[in-house]
Amino acid sequence: MPENLEKIIKVIYGQWKGRRGLGKNNHPDEEKLACFAEGKLLGRDKALLEKHLLNCALCAEYVFTQLKIKPHLSLDVPEQLLENTRKLVIGDAEESLFEIFLKLKDKALEIIRTTGDVLVGQELVPAPVLRSRKISEFKEEINILKDFQELRVLAKIQSKNTKNFNLTVIVKDKINQKIPKNTRISLIKDGVELESYVTDSGSGYFENIQPGNYTVEISSNEQKIAVVDLKVNP
């Protein structure tokens, strides 16, 4: 069955590539794009491809798809390219996606990347501003917020030690602070639901989570509000 599935994927991919014309005209072929996505393209070839991607929505879409399938947090990709491709591929879905990439360091938390705003004291600071201030480490706890239409989602991550962390997710109306009723908050890893809360308090608490890649799905009245893409490295 896996062999047949691989053949089916190759056929579908071939048709997809044919419709989009990858490898034709002045576009780089898929092998070169894949090498770039895996960080194996160097020197002048890398610089030329980066320039091409900044001006070609077609190839940028392909590369960003590869990055989403197999994330490379250490890959040195221009921030403008990531932002352009993120808009191209995610589009409207970006409104429901909340990305948080962190690293556990001793008892501190280091922000690698986030699409939310970080609460620093009483100040709500966008992630790019934090980078400009050269702030990335937070002792034991970090609070990150993002708005989704009329609702605000707060992800509170607490580092217990270098091996695990706690996660609290809170959902409120961003204007009047009211809590949506019948809110479901689920923690998912590798497609398996590890833990789930259906609550009228608008919050879910997950304890002793090991570093890894997780998804938190938030829904109310059977309608999905947001998806939190949480990646924590040891």
Residue 156 has pLDDT above 90, yes or no: yes
The total of other beta-carbon atoms located within 10 Å of residue 150's CB is 12
Of 65 and 39, the structure prediction assigns the larger pLDDT to: 39
Residue 9's pLDDT is what? 56
Range 148-155 average pLDDT: 86
Residue 17 has pLDDT above 80, yes or no: no
Q: State the Cα–Cα distance between residues 117 and 147, nearest whole angstrom.
A: 9
Residue 123's pLDDT is what? 80
Residue 167's pLDDT is what? 92
Of 26 and 82, the structure prediction assigns the larger pLDDT to: 26
CB 216 within 8 A of CB 88: no
Q: Class for domain 93-233, per CATH?
A: mainly beta
Q: State the Cα–Cα distance between residues 215 and 138, nearest whole angstrom.
A: 22
Residue 89 binned pLDDT confidence (cut-offs 50, 70, 90): very low
Q: State the Cα–Cα distance between residues 91 and 142, nearest whole angstrom.
A: 28
CB 228 within 8 A of CB 157: no
Residue 91 binned pLDDT confidence (cut-offs 50, 70, 90): very low
DSSP string, 152-216: EEEEEEEE-SSS-EEEEEEEEETTT-PPPSSEEEEEEETTEEEEEEEESSSEEEEEEEPSEEEEE
* CATH 2.60.40 residue ranges for the chain: 93-233
4-18, 55-69, 117-131, 219-233, range with greatest mean pLDDT? 219-233
- pTM score: 0.58
18-40 burial: b if 16+ Cβ within 10 Å, else e? eeeebeeeebbeeebbebbbeee
DSSP H or E stretch at residue 219? strand 212-220
Range 23-38 average pLDDT: 68
Range 30-36 average pLDDT: 73
Residue 93 binned pLDDT confidence (cut-offs 50, 70, 90): very low
**Whole-number average pLDDT of the chain:** 76
